[in-house]
Structures are given as C-alpha cells and as structure tokens.
Amino acid sequence: MKILKKISFLLISFPLLLKSQNDVIGTWNILNVRYALNPKVSVFGEGQIRSLNFYNHFHYYEIKGGFQYQLNPNLNIGMACGSYQTFKEGGNFELPKNNNEFRLWPQIILSQQISKLKIEHRYRAEFRFTTSGFRNRFRYRLGFSYPVIQKNNLNTSIYLNNEIFFTDNEPYFERNRIAFGIHHMISKKSTILIGYLHQFDYKINDETGRDFIQIGYFLNLSNPKLN
C-alpha cells in the first residue's frame, strides 16, 4: 500500500511541478459501470468529464453505453453509442459549443499474454454525427499492462498505451494520445485508475489536446446466477 501511495503521489504531483506559466494541466475523470449478463456478454455505461485547468475550465463531457461479447479469451468485440459535447475554452461549459456530437462505434480488442505482461490491440471505427456534419474516424490503440503487486486475488498494475486517430479525408491524421499510470483493485468488483495523459491534436474542433491527470473508477457487476 505504501508503494501505491508513492506512485499515485508522483503521478499527480510530477506533472504539476513541470508545468510552466503557459502550460497548464487539465483533469480527465472517468466513471465506468459494467454488468456481466453471462460469461461472454456484458453491457456497460460510462461518463467522462474533462477540464483544461486543474479542476477548472470544464469544457467537455461524454455519456455512452454499449455491449461487449467475448468470443474467446483473446478476442472481444463490442458496439456502443453516446453523446459527446465540447464547449468553448475559457470557462466552465462556455457557450457556444465547439461540437455537439452523437457517435456510434464498433470495436475489436485483441489481447495476448507474455509471462505477466499483457499486450492489447484495440481497433475502433467511429461514425460521427457532428455540428459540422457526418464524419468517419478510425482509431488504433496499443497498450501494455504489468502487475507489480498481487495479493489475495487483487492486483495493482502499471500500464502504458498509445493511440492514433485518423480519417478517410485529408489530412487523414487527427490525433495522438499517450498515457501511463496505475490500475489498483480495491475489491474484486472495484478498480481505480490514476494516470497521466498527453494528447496532440491536428486541425480538429472537438476535445482539445493538452496534458491531463486521469482519475477513474470502474465497477464490475455480474448476474447473481454467475459464479
């Protein structure tokens, strides 16, 4: 637990110490609830809220829900939809909005295990109904996760992932995200995430690219009939 507290403190304080007068750290907050209907099928809902300063200048939120199907231990497919709202910079939910979007997205997740190291490939296609009209977008995320503490069937893992966003129209490349941090299981049903994310954008009008402290809470529930 002491190691976890030290890692969490470093993840939150280090970026804040590095920031300059013109370089602020935003916040990226996640609440995710998943319910397993049976060993293969689950449904989920998620909300996110983000700010461009440290818990100030809130400019973005999203609400989404969907399902996932575990074809085998290494292959997961899913579908979801949601509302994605981006507000003008300079305050808390300032109007007019930069983007008002409804989004539908299927995805495929491939995973593999090398000793304790888990490698994940996530492929997602987004069909976006935005303020500027309909758009397609495609995303690929490569992620790594490694457990550093394992006790009583609970674990604390460090993670690193990188994701690229591109479209079928010029200039094709839109965004890059790189993130790292820790996942800590509070219980068999609850996990918290503390991390740091850097986002670079290229000529897009939705969620702004910056540096963010990430804090997330994930709740995994299941049908009482399941063991």
Look at residue 20 and tell me whether its pLDDT is greater than 50: no
pLDDT cut 70: percent of the chain above it:
87
Under the banding of pLDDT at 50, 70 and 90, the label for residue 48 is very high
- Which residue in the block uniquely carries the two structure tokens 């992620």? 143
Q: Catalogue all structural domains in the chain, each as residue range(s) with its CATH number.
A: 2-220 (2.40.160)
Q: How many helices and strands, by DSSP H and E, does the chain display?
A: 1, 11
Residues 6 or more apart whose Cβ sits within 8 Å of residue 6: none
Q: What is the pLDDT of residues 159-170, one digit of tens each?
A: 999 999 999 988
CB 62 within 8 A of CB 82: yes
- Tokens encoding 81: 């939809």
Mean pLDDT rounded to a whole number for the chain: 90
Q: What is the pLDDT of residues 125-156, one digit of tens each?
A: 999 999 989 999 999 999 999 999 988 888 99
Position 169 scores a pLDDT of 86
Position 202 scores a pLDDT of 79
Q: What is the pLDDT of residues 66-114, one digit of tens each?
A: 999 999 999 999 999 999 999 999 899 999 999 999 999 999 999 999 9
Q: Both ends of the chain: CA-CA distance in Å? A: 29
Which of 118, 171, 175, 168 shows the shortest CA–CA distance to 144? 118
